Amino acid sequence: MSQILTLTLNPALDLATEAASVLPGPKLRCAAERAEPGGGGVNVARAIRHLGGAALAAVALGGARGEALAALLAQAGLDTLRLDGPGETRLSFAVTDRATHGQYRFVLPGPVWSDAAMDQATETLSAAADPEAIVVLSGSMPPGADTGFCTRMVAALGPGRRVVIDTSGPHLAALAAGPQPCPEILRMDSEEAETLTGRALPSRGDSADFAEALRAGGAARYVIVARGADGSVMAGPNGRVHVSAADVPVQSKIGAGDSFVGGFVLALSRGQPAREALRMGAAAASAACMTKGTELCRKSDVARLLPDTVLTSL
C-alpha cells in the first residue's frame, strides 16, 4: 500500500450552525455551533480515515485558531505534520436556513505567504514522503502564493511520487495550460471547467471532451471533471469514462469533493486502477452529501453505495 500525504497550506477552523431563517437586518438566533477541522487536504485526510485508511496530513497552523484547529485534528485521530503558518489560521462558517434548507457558506482568505515560506513547506513535505507516495494538494491556495507553485512542487517531489491536485482559480488555470512536470491527477468541478473553457458543458460528452483536451495538452496524466448529481468524467491514457453518482437524499454538499478525492486516492493507494478508484470516489462523494454540516462520508454508507456507481466508456 502506498503512503498518502495531504498538504493544506490554507486550512480553516470550520464552524457550522442553523437558524430558523436567514434574513438581512435582525439578529439571527442560531443553534449551537459544530466545530470541525477544515481545508481541502485536511478533509481528504479525514475522509480517508473515515474509510478505514490512513494519511499523513501536513497542515500549516498559526495563532489561537491554529491551536484550536490542532486540538481538533488530534481529536479526529489524524497523523499530522505541523507546518508553521505565517499568520492566524483562517475561519470559515456555514449557516443552514431551516425554513428553506438553503446553506450559506462564508470563507475568509487566510494569512499571506511568501515564496520562501511556500518553498520551505514543499521541502518539509518532500522530506516526509516515501519515494512512491501519493501526495494530495487539495483546497484553495493561500494569499501570496504565485501560480507557478504547484508545478514547482511537482518538480520537487520528483517522478516517483504521484501528485493529485484539486484547486481552483488562477492556480487551476495555470495548471490547465500544461506546464511540465504535470501532476498525475488534476480534478475540478463543472463550474471551474466552464470558467476555464469559457462556455457551458451541458453533457457528459462535453465535459469528457474538455478533460481530454486538457490531458492531451499536458495538464495531467488523468483529468477528472465532477458533474455533481450526474457523477464525474475522467480522461486518461486509456480513454474517457463516466461514473454515475448514487441517488441519495442531500443534507449538505460540504466536503463532497474532498470525500471524492479521499475515496479515489485511498483506492489508488491500495493498488486499484484509476477507473475503479473513480467508483470509490463517486461513492464517497454521494455518502458525504447524506451527512449534515461539515461532516464527511461514512464508511458504511460508502460500502452500501459503491454498487450504485456505474462506469460507462465515452
Interacting residues of 53 by C-beta distance below 8 A, sequence separation 6+: 4, 266, 269
Q: Which pairs from 226-233 meet CB under 8 Å and 24+ separation? A: 226/187, 226/188, 226/189, 226/190, 226/257, 226/260, 226/285, 227/189, 227/190, 228/189, 228/190, 230/204, 231/204, 231/282, 231/309, 232/260, 232/278, 232/281, 232/282, 232/285, 233/204, 233/207, 233/208, 233/314
Is 130 one of the annotated active-site residues of the chain? no
Residues 6 or more apart from 266 whose CB is under 8 A from it?
4, 48, 51, 53, 280
Query: What gap in Å lies between CA 44 and CA 64, rounded to an integer?
Result: 23
Beta bridge partners of 232: 226, 243
The crossing angle, in degrees rounded to 10, of helices 169-176 and 149-157 is 60
Among 14, 206, 258, 301, the one annotated catalytic: 258
Q: Any idea which residues carry the catalytic annotation?
A: 258
